[in-house]
Amino acid sequence: MVKMQAHVKLTPVPAPEAMEQALYEVRKKIYPRAVHGAFAAWRWIFVLLTQLVFYGGPWLTWNARQAVLFDLAARKFYIFGLVFWPQDIVYLTVLLVICAYSLFLFTAVAGRLWCGYACPQTVYTEIFMWIERKVEGDRLARMKLDKQPLSARKFSLKGVKHGLWIALALWTGFTFVGFFTPIHTLGNEVLNLSTGPWESFWMLFYGFATYGNAGWMREQVCKYMCPYARFQSVMFDPDTLIITYDRERGEPRGTRARSADHKSKGLGDCVDCGICVQVCPTGIDIRNGLQYECIGCAACIDGCDQVMDKMGYPKGLIRYSTENALKNHLPTQGTLKRIFRPRVLIYSAILWAIIISTLVTLYRRVPLKVDVIRDRGNVMRDAEDADVQNVYRLQIMNTQEIERDMRISVSGLDGIEIEGVSRPIRVAPASSLMVPVRVEAPRASGNKGSNRILFTVEATDPAHPDSAPLKVEEKASFVIH
Amino acid sequence: MSDFNGEFWTVYISVITVASVLACTVLLWTLSTKRVTAGRTADVTGHVWDEDLEEYNNPLPRWWIWLFYLTIAFGVAYLVLYPGLGSFPGLLKWSSRGEYEAEQAKARETYQPLYARYAAMSIPDVARDSQAREMGQRLFLNYCAQCHASDARGGKGFPDLTDQDWLYGGDPETIVATITNGRKAMMPAWGKIVGDEGTRNLAHYVISLSGGAHDELRAAYGKELFAANCVACHGPEGKGNPVLGAANLTDKIWLYGGSSTALVETIGKGRNGVMPAWGEFLGPDKVHIVAAYVYGLSHPAGGQ
C-alpha cells in the first residue's frame, strides 16, 4: 500500500507561546495559478462534456415529451425511448453498482481520476475559477486585490464576479429541477414568478450549494467532507498510477541559472520554482509525496512540464508513475504492463459482466407487467355442470408510450377458461389497469386443493395489428375443493 | 396506550431530550479550544500504522463547529415549534391527525363537484356514465369485493349481484337502502321443531319447487310441513318475499348451495346473513355511485 505522508507537511505551525489555540483552524485561502497543458486540456474536455450533458439534457425532446425526465410525482422515469416504473428500481441499483465498480477500477489503475476530471466539485470549481480569473486576473493579481482596502474598483470586480457566479449557480439550480419538472413549463413559471414551493426551494437550494461549494468551499469539500479522500489509500496499491515527484531526479532542489550545469554543482532537476505548489487547487506540495488532499488533477504535472521545457530538461519530473516504478526504476513499458494485474483484471471482468448483462436485460425487457392477485374472500365457488370458479384481479401495466390491446388467456388445467372477458382490453399509454377475471374449470380437471395455472397476457399494438405481440406469463393458483 | 399519557412520562421524555441538547452544546463548547504548550506542534493521537504512519490531532475548520451549533439551534427551534417534548404540542400545533384531516378536506374539495354532479343524476343515468362506472368499480373493488368477489358474482353465503334475483329487491332505491343501512337476514333453525326426517322431507320439497331431482314421497311429506311452517316468509308458492329478504325458492339460485345436503343444513340449522351498513363510512355520494355500479351490473342494457 502506498503510504500517504500525512506527517510531513500537515503539522500546524508551532505556537510561539503557551496560549489558548483555536482548535478549529482558520482556512488559508488558496489562490491557484492558471495552468495550461495536456492534463488541463483533458479536464476542460471533461468539463465541457459533462456540462453539455447536464445543461443540454433537459432541453432534448423525444416522443413529444422531454427526452430525459424523472417524473417523481407520477413515479415514472423517462430516458429517451425507455420508461422506467417503480418496479424497475433494480436498474437504479445496477447503475449504482456499475458506478461503484468503475470507481474501484479507475482508482486501482490511475488513482483519483474521478476527482481530477469528472467530479462535479472539480468541474464547477474549474468553471468558477475560470470566471474568477477572467474578472480578477490570475494568482498574483487576485492576491494583490484581496490585500487592497475596499475601493470602487475592488467592489465592482468582486460584484461582477459574484454576480456571474450567482447567475451560473441559479441556472444550474434551474437546470437541475428541469430534470424533474418539464423544463419548458418550469421556464414559463420562472418568468411569471409562479414556481411551486418545492420547485423554488430546490432551485434555490441547488443554486446555493453550487455557489457555496464551487465559489467558497472548494478544496475544503475534498479535504474535510468527501469520504473518498479518506479511503483512497486502501484502493491504491504499489502499481497504481499516481501523481509523483521523482525525488531521485529532482533532489537536491535549488535555484540556478538556465545556462549553468547544475549537475556539476550537485543539484537535481528541481529548480524549486514553486509552480507545482502555486497551481495546486488543494494547496499541497506534491514534492512531499502522495497526500490524502491530492485529488489527482495533474495541474502540477502541467506546471512542472512547462518549467522543464523552459529549462531544456526532459519533462516528467512530476509525472504519472507508480510506487514500484520509482523504487525499481521500471521503464514506461514495464510500468504500463503492470496495469494488467489480477486486481485490475478481476475488477474489469466483473464490471463488464454487469454492464453486458444489464444491457442484455434492458434489451430483452418486456414493457408489459402483470400482477395476479387472487380474491381472498371467495377462494372458490361452484358453477353449473360441476365446474369450479376462481376469481382474480389482474393488474396490467402498459409501460410503453403507445396504446395496447390486451388479450388474457389461461392454461394449466384441461378445459380451463376465462369467463366474461371476450373483447381485448385497451390500456392507455404508460398506464395501468385493474381487471377482475373469472376463471372456470371442470372440477375433475385438477386435484383437490391448489393447482398451478398460468395466465398469459398478450399485448398488441392497435395501430399496427400485424406486429408481434408482447407476451407476459404469470403463475397463479386455482383452488378446487 | 393510555399508560404512556401520564404526567410522569411527559416529564421523563422532556428531561432526557433537553439534557441531551444541553450536553451536546456543553461538549462542543468545552472542546472548541485547547491548550498548546510553547514550541509544541499539534498532539499525536498515539495511533501508528505501517511502522511510521502517525495520526495527528489536527484542527478542524472553524465553519465546521458553527455547523454543529447550527444543528443544535435547529433542534431547539424544532422542539419549540413541533411536538417532541412529551405532551407539549408545539407552537405550530401540528399533529398527524390534523394533517390527515387537512388532506381529507382538501381531497373533498377536489372531488366534491364530481360527486355532486352524479348525486344529482338518477341511478340508471349514473349507471350509463362510463366515468361513474369506473369510479364505482374502484369503490366496489375496495369495499365490496371481499365478500361479493371482484366480479360481483358472490359466492357461498354472498349474493351474486349480476343476476336479476334480489333478496330485498333490485330497484335503485332498495339498492341504496341496502348499501346504506345494511341487512340482517334471519332464517330460523327448524331442525329441532320438524325433526331430522322433517328437515330432509322439506329439503326434497324445496328442491322440487325449482324442478330439481328429488324423492317424490319425501317431497309430498315436505309440502305439508312447508305449508305449516315456511309460507309465512317464503309465501305459499315459495316465491319468497323481498320485504323480509326471504329467498325465492323456485329459481334454481341458491345462496348457500342447492344440493340436498346443503339444504338440510340450511333448514336444520338456519342461516344468518349480514350485510354491513356502509352509509356512515362511505357517505351518501359514494353510496350513490356504488349503487349505480351495482344496478348497472344487472342492467347491462342500461350501459348501452
CB-nearest partner of A23 from B33, B37, B149: B33
pLDDT at residue A319 tops 50: yes
The residue among A369, A376, A368, A366 whose CA lies nearest residue A477 is A376
Local structure of B13: helix, strand or coil: helix
How much is the average pLDDT of A417-439? Answer: 85
The pLDDT assigned to A26 comes to: 57
Within 8 A of A19 by CB-CB distance, chain B residues are: 36
Measured CA distances, A138 to A130, A278, B189 (Å) = 9, 11, 101
| Maximum mean pLDDT: which of A78-87, A131-140, A427-436 | A131-140
Q: What is the mean pLDDT of residues A386-393?
A: 89
Q: Going by C-beta distance under 8 Å and a sequence separation of 6 or more, which residues neighbour residue A245?
A: A270, A276, A286, A287, A289, A317, A318
Give the residue numbers in A contacting B (CB under 8 Å), as ranges.
Answer: 1, 3-4, 6-7, 10-12, 14-27, 220, 224, 375-378, 380-382, 389, 391-393, 420, 434, 436-438
pLDDT at A170: 96
Question: Picking from A228-232, A248-252, A307-311, B21-25, which range would have the lowest pLDDT averaged per residue?
Answer: A228-232
Q: What is the model's pLDDT at position A461?
A: 85
Question: Does B42 contact A at CB distance below 8 Å?
Answer: yes
What pLDDT is attached to residue A64? 84
Average pLDDT over residues A45-71: 92
Give Cβ neighbours of residue A461 (< 8 Å, ≥ 6 apart): A402, A403, A404, A405, A467
From chain B, the residues in CB contact with A391 under 8 A are 149-151, 153
- B33 beta partners: A22
How many CB pairs below 8 Å do chains A and B form together?
120
Contacts of B158 in chain A (CB under 8 A): 377-378
CB contact (8 A) between residue A391 and residue B151: yes
pLDDT of residue B33: 63
Interchain pair A10, B156: CB under 8 A:
no
> What pLDDT sits at residue A8?
41
Q: Is the pLDDT of residue A439 over 70?
A: yes
Q: What angle do CA B11, B14, B20 make, to 5 degrees?
A: 135
Q: What is the mean pLDDT of residues A441-460?
A: 90
Contact (CB<8Å) B153/A24: no
Would you state the pLDDT for residue A42?
Answer: 93
B50 and A10 within 8 Å at the Cβ level: the answer is: no
Q: Name chain A contacts of B39, Cβ cutoff 8 Å.
A: 14-15
**Closest residue in chain A to residue B50, using alpha carbons only:** A3
Q: What is the pLDDT of residues B246-265, one digit of tens each?
A: 999 998 888 888 888 999 99
- Band of pLDDT at residue A286, cut at 50, 70 and 90: very high
Whether the pLDDT of residue A21 is over 60: the answer is no
Interface test with A, best of B138, B148, B153, B160 (most A CBs within 10 A): B153
Residue B4 has pLDDT above 70, yes or no: no
Least confident of A140-149, A287-296, B54-63, B172-181: B54-63
Cell 510500468 locates to A335
Spatial distance between the Cα atoms of A176 and A172, rounded to a whole number of angstroms = 6
B41 contact residues in A (CB cutoff 8 A): 11-12, 14
Indicate the residue of B34, B61, B158 with minimum beta-carbon distance to A378: B158
C-alpha cell at A426: 385497451
Name the more confident of A456 and A8. Answer: A456
B35 pLDDT band (50/70/90 cuts)? Answer: low
pLDDT over 70 percentage in chain B: 91
Amino acid A330: pLDDT: 84
Residue B38 touches partner A, C-beta closer than 8 Å: yes
User: Cβ distance A427 to A396 under 8 Å?
Assistant: yes
Q: Which of A248-257, A300-309, A410-419, B1-10 has the lowest mean pLDDT?
A: B1-10
- Across the interface, whether the CB atoms of A23 and B64 are under 8 A apart is answered no
Q: What share of chain B is helix, strand, coil (3-state, %, to 5)?
A: 60, 10, 35
Residues A45-66, mean pLDDT to the nearest whole number: 92
CB contact under 8 A, B257 and A382: yes
Which range is least confidently modeled, A377-391, B112-126, B197-211? A377-391
The string of pLDDT tens digits covering residues A100-144 is 999 999 999 988 899 989 999 999 999 999 999 999 998 899 999
Mean pLDDT of B2-20: 84
User: Of chain B residues 150-169, which have a CB less than 8 A from chain A?
Assistant: 150-151, 153-156, 158
Residues B141, A393: C-beta atoms closer than 8 Å: yes
Query: What integer is the mean pLDDT of A465-475?
Result: 86
* Cell numbers found for residue A346: 478481476
pLDDT at B303: 42
Grid coordinates representing A466 are 400485424
Average pLDDT for B82-92: 87
User: Could B151 and A4 be called an inter-chain contact, meaning their C-beta atoms sit closer than 8 Å?
Assistant: no
User: What's this model's pTM, rounded to 2 decimal places?
Assistant: 0.73
| CB half-sphere exposure, A167, CA atoms < 13 A | 7
Contacts of A12 in chain B (CB under 8 A): 41-42, 58-59
Grid coordinates belonging to B9:
412520562
> What is the mean predicted confidence (pLDDT) over A284-307?
90
Beta bridge partners of A460: A405
Mean pLDDT, residues B48-76: 81
Average pLDDT over residues A55-65: 91
Between A8 and B85, where is the model more confident? B85
Mean pLDDT of chain A: 87
Nearest chain B residue to A439, by CA: B151
Q: Which of residues 240-279 of B touch A (CB under 8 A)?
A: 257
State whether A20 and B257 contact (CB < 8 Å). no
Q: Say which amino acid occupies A127.
A: I
Selecting from A4, A25, A380 the residue whose C-beta is nearest the C-beta of B59 gives A25
* Per-residue pLDDT tens digits for A184-203: 999 999 999 988 899 999 99
Q: Minimum mean pLDDT among A1-15, A406-420, B267-281: which range?
A: A1-15
Is the pLDDT assigned to residue A1 strictly greater than 80? no
Query: Would you place residue A17 in the very low, low, confident or very high pLDDT band (cuts 50, 70, 90)?
Result: very low
DSSP three-state, residue B250? coil
Binning pLDDT at 50, 70 and 90, where does residue A257 land? Answer: confident
B149 contacts A377? CB cut-off 8 A:
yes
Of A2-11, B24-33, B38-47, which range is least confident?
A2-11
Smallest Cα distance from B3 to chain A, Å:
37
Q: Which of A10-19, A104-113, B52-61 has the highest mean pLDDT?
A: A104-113
Taking the CA of residue B113 and the nearest CA in chain A, the distance in Å comes to: 24
Name every chain A residue with its beta carbon within 8 A of the beta carbon of B33.
20-23
pLDDT-derived band at A11, boundaries 50, 70, 90: very low
Mutation choice for B interface testing from A4, A5, A24, A439 by most B CBs within 10 A: A24
Name chain A contacts of B38, Cβ cutoff 8 Å.
Answer: 15-18
> Maximum Cα–Cα distance for chain A, whole Å?
112
CB–CB contact B38 A220 (8 Å): no
Contact A426, A403 (CB under 8 A): yes
Confidence of residue A52 (pLDDT cuts 50, 70, 90): very high
Q: Rounded distance, CA B11 to CA A416, Å?
A: 66
Confidence category of residue A156, pLDDT binned at 50, 70, 90 = very high
Judged by a CB distance cut-off of 8 A, whether residue B46 touches chain A is no
